[in-house]
Chain A
Amino acid sequence: MRLIYFAWVRERIGKPEEDVELPAGIETVADLLRWLKSRGEEYEHALQFPDVIRVAINQEHVGHREKIAGAREIALFPPMTGG
């Protein structure tokens, strides 16, 4: 599964994207954020306050309770500031 990061999430994690193999038991977006946060201090720094992280699965906004089965691409980013 491909993970993509934007803005300060990308800067804190230190890479724009990566492919990951998820361990068993990671079913929802919230599970994914919890697991990622445990992967090292750069992830801990980026995902310190998981509630503020916005998530898109296959380029569509989703909530943190969304199931991630079947996702090809999951993006994590801060609240948007376009317009």
Chain B
Amino acid sequence: MAGAVPGIRIQREDFDVAAEIAALTRDRADIGAVVTFSGLCRDEQGALSELELEHYPGMAEAEIGRIAAEATERWPLQGLTVIHRHGKIAPGENIVLVVAASAHRQAAFEAANFLMDYLKSRAPFWKKEHLTDGSHGGWVEAKEADDRAADRWKKSGG
């Protein structure tokens, strides 16, 4: 089956989840399932004033492109959109969006889950915390649990 061509955007601006779903499903009737994942900025019980997301321009697009291409090879997707924001993001705002469309729900669920696990450990973005007391909370540390989450998608023998 010909895979969908993933739409990938790295941007400072916010995104509109409903508009992104509509863009994937417009003028077609072969999609039976759309799964979206949105990642938002938490306020950490009031301690966080904003997150600053640094990224590696060029590689961010390329790496997410490689992960998305792998998803379209592994699951029969009819559409795939990945948006990752950078710059300063306030609590409650969107950070990341994955929209996966397929004929049946399982492929869309699994592809969205796979994308997020891989984005966490392989997409070149780094979060720095700014705290409400005016101090720098420092760089967020990578979680081993995120690496393990990505590892579970490795094919046996691979």
Please indicate the chain B residues that have their CB under 8 angstroms from the CB of A59 in the complex.
56, 58-59, 62-63
Answer yes or no: A53 CB below 8 A from chain B CBs. no
Q: Do residues A56 and B142 form an inter-chain contact, with CB atoms below 8 A? A: no
Please, which residue of chain B has its CB at the minimum distance from the CB of A54?
B124
Answer yes or no: A61 CB below 8 A from chain B CBs. yes
Of B15-23, B28-36, B69-77, B113-121, the segment with at least 4 beta carbons within 8 Å of chain A is B113-121
Main secondary structure of the interface of B (DSSP, over half): mixed
Please indicate the chain A residues that have their CB under 8 angstroms from the CB of B139 in the complex.
7-8, 78, 81
**Interface size range of chain A in the complex:** 10 to 19
Residue of A8, A56, A59, A78 most packed against chain B (CB within 10 A): A59
Answer yes or no: B88 CB below 8 A from chain A CBs. no
Binding site for A on B (CB under 8 A): 39, 53-56, 58-59, 62-63, 84, 95-96, 116, 119-128, 139-142, 146
30 contacts between A and B (CB under 8 A): A6-B54, A6-B124, A7-B126, A7-B128, A56-B59, A59-B56, A59-B63, A60-B59, A61-B122, A75-B56, A75-B59, A77-B56, A79-B141, A80-B126, A81-B120, A81-B125, A81-B126, A81-B127, A81-B139, A81-B140, A81-B142, A82-B55, A82-B119, A82-B120, A82-B124, A82-B125, A82-B126, A83-B84, A83-B123, A83-B125
